[in-house]
Amino acid sequence: MFKRVARLGTALVLLVALWPQVPIAYGILGSCQADVDVHLVTQEAQTRFAFTFDDVSSIQRITINRPSAEFTINGATGESWNASNSNEEAVFIRGGPVASVIYVDALSGTSDASPADWIVTASDDIGGADAIDCLGGNLTTEISGSPIAGDTTGPVISNIFVTGLTTSTATINWTTDEPATTQINYGLNELDESFVSDTLTTAHSVALDSLQAGLTYYYFLSSKDASDNESTTGTNTFITKTTPTIAPNVTTVAKPGSSDLVPPTVTFDKVGGVFQSAPTFTGTASDNIALAAIEYSVDGGKNWLPADEVVGLGSVAAQYRFSPINLEDGDYIVLVRARDTADNSVVSEAQTVTIDALDPFIGGYVLYAGSQPLYPNGDGAIITVVNAELDLSVNAIGGATSVSVIARQAESGQDATFSLVDQGSDNLWTGKMLFSKAGVYQVRATSRDGGGNISTRELATIRVQSPATITDGGQSVKDATVTVFYQDIETKTWNEWDGSVYSQSNPVVVGDDATYSFLLPEGKYYIKVQAKGYRATLSNIFDVYQPTVIGANTVLKKRPGFSLGGLQLRLPWPSFKPTLDIQPGVTSTGVITKDATLPPFSLRRSDGQTVSTVSILGKPTVLSLVSPWSLTARQQISVLDTLPQDQVNVIAVGSGQNLSRLTSYARLAGFDAGLVADTENQLINGLSSGLTPTTYFIDRQGVVKSMSSKVLSEEEIINNVPF
Partner 1 sequence: MWLQFFAQNFHFAVNLFAGLASLGVAWLYLDAWSNKHSKKEFLKWLGFGILGFAYLIEATVIEQTVLGSSPFGEFTQSFAAAAKVIGYITIAVGLIMDPLQEVPKNEGITFEVGNDQKQAPAQPVQPTVVAPTKQTLPAVSGFGTLSVIAAPMGSIAIAALYLRRATTGLERHLKPVFWAFALIGISDLASVASAYRDTTNPVFASWFAAFGWVWWFEHLSLALGIFFLGRWVWGYLTERFFSQLFMIFTAMVMMIFLVVGVGFTSLLVNNIQRDTLTKLATAVNVLGYAVDTKKSETTAVAEQLAASSDLASALITKDREKLISLTQSIIPSKQLSTLIITNASGQVILRAEDTSRWGDSLSDDPLIKRALFGVGQSTVSVKQEPGAPVLQVLSAAVIFDSSRTSIGTVMTGLDLNEAFVDRIKDATGLQSSIYGNDRLAATTLVAPDGKTNTLGVKIGEGAIKDTVLNNAAAYQGSVSLQSRQMLAAYTPVKDVDNQVVGALMVAEPRSSVLQIAGRSIQTTFVLAASLLVLSFVPTFFVSRSISRQLE
Q: Which residues between 371 and 400 bind partner 1 (CB under 8 A)?
A: 371-373, 391, 393
DSSP state at residue 225 = B
Of 458, 467, 459, 403, give the one whose Cα is nearest residue 435.
467
Task: Show contacts with partner 1 in window 307-346 (CB under 8 A).
Answer: 324-328
Query: Which of 493, 563, 595, 646 is in the footprint of partner 1 by CB under 8 A?
Result: 493
| Sequence-separated (6 or more) residues with CB below 8 Å from residue 346 | 248, 249, 250, 251, 263, 264, 265, 266, 285, 337, 338
Q: CA 293, CA 190: separation in Å to the nearest integer?
A: 49
Query: Which of 181, 183, 297, 354 is in the footprint of partner 1 by CB under 8 A?
Result: 297
Distances (CA, A) of 442 to 135, 406, 460, 463: 38, 8, 6, 9
**Least Å distance between CB 501 and partner 1?**
4
User: Per CB under 8 A, does 635 bind partner 1?
Assistant: yes
User: Per CB under 8 A, does 299 bind partner 1?
Assistant: yes
**Least Å distance between CB 524 and partner 1?**
7
Instruction: Give the 3-state secondary structure of residue 660.
Output: helix
User: Per CB under 8 A, does 661 bind partner 1?
Assistant: yes
Task: Show contacts with partner 1 in window 458-477 (CB under 8 A).
Answer: none
Query: Which residue number, 29 or 591, has a Cβ lying nearer to partner 1?
Result: 591
Query: Which residue number, 562 or 576, has a Cβ lying nearer to partner 1?
Result: 576
- Maximum distance among all Cα pairs of the chain, rounded to whole angstroms: 118
Q: CA 443, CA 408: separation in Å to the nearest integer?
A: 6
Query: Which of 312, 370, 584, 702 is in the footprint of partner 1 by CB under 8 A?
Result: 370
Helices marked H in 43-170: none
Stretch that binds partner 1, among 151-159, 279-287, 455-463, 500-508 (CB under 8 A): 500-508
**Least Å distance between CB 506 and partner 1?**
11
**Least Å distance between CB 522 and partner 1?**
4
Query: Which of 448, 528, 559, 605 is in the footprint of partner 1 by CB under 8 A?
Result: 528
Stretch that binds partner 1, among 3-11, 160-168, 177-185, 297-305 (CB under 8 A): 297-305
Stretch that binds partner 1, among 118-126, 166-174, 602-610, 662-670 (CB under 8 A): 662-670
Query: Which residue number, 220 or 545, has a Cβ lying nearer to partner 1?
Result: 545
What is the H or E stretch that residue 14 is in? helix 2-18
**Least Å distance between CB 493 and partner 1?**
6
**Least Å distance between CB 502 and partner 1?**
6
User: Per CB under 8 A, does 711 bind partner 1?
Assistant: yes
Task: Show contacts with partner 1 in window 568-607 (CB under 8 A).
Answer: 575-578, 588
Task: Show contacts with partner 1 in window 420-439 (CB under 8 A).
Answer: 423, 428, 430
Give 260's strand partners. Answer: none
| Interaction mask 197-226, partner 1, x per CB under 8 A | ------------------------------
Query: Which of 315, 612, 713, 719 is in the footprint of partner 1 by CB under 8 A?
Result: 713
What is the H or E stretch that residue 665 is in? helix 659-669
| Sequence-separated (6 or more) residues with CB below 8 Å from residue 562 | 569
Q: CA 113, CA 67: separation in Å to the nearest integer?
A: 9
User: Per CB under 8 A, does 660 bind partner 1?
Assistant: yes
- Kindly write down the DSSP assignment for every residue of 590-609, as one continuous string: --EEEEEEPPP-EEEETTS-
Give me the phi and psi of 6, to 5 degrees please.
-65, -40
The burial of 167, by beta-carbon neighbours within 10 Å (0-12 exposed, 13-18 middle, 19 or more buried), is given as middle
User: Per CB under 8 A, does 304 bind partner 1?
Assistant: yes
Task: Show contacts with partner 1 in window 611-630 (CB under 8 A).
Answer: 629-630
Give the count of residues interacting with partner 1 (CB under 8 A): 74
Give me the phi and psi of 125, to 5 degrees please.
-120, 135
User: Per CB under 8 A, does 281 bind partner 1?
Assistant: no
Q: CA 132, CA 62: separation in Å to the nearest integer?
A: 10
Of 375, 365, 374, give the one whose Cα is nearest residue 625.
365
Q: CA 518, CA 145: separation in Å to the nearest integer?
A: 57
Q: CA 652, CA 693: separation in Å to the nearest integer?
A: 10
Query: Which of 25, 631, 643, 703 is in the footprint of partner 1 by CB under 8 A?
Result: 631
The H helix count followed by the E strand count for the chain is 4, 59
**Least Å distance between CB 701 and partner 1?**
31
DSSP state at residue 339 = E
| Interaction mask 530-559, partner 1, x per CB under 8 A | --------xxxxx--x--------------
**Least Å distance between CB 337 and partner 1?**
11
Query: Which residue number, 90 or 428, has a Cβ lying nearer to partner 1?
Result: 428
**Least Å distance between CB 196 and partner 1?**
37
Q: CA 50, CA 35: separation in Å to the nearest integer?
A: 8
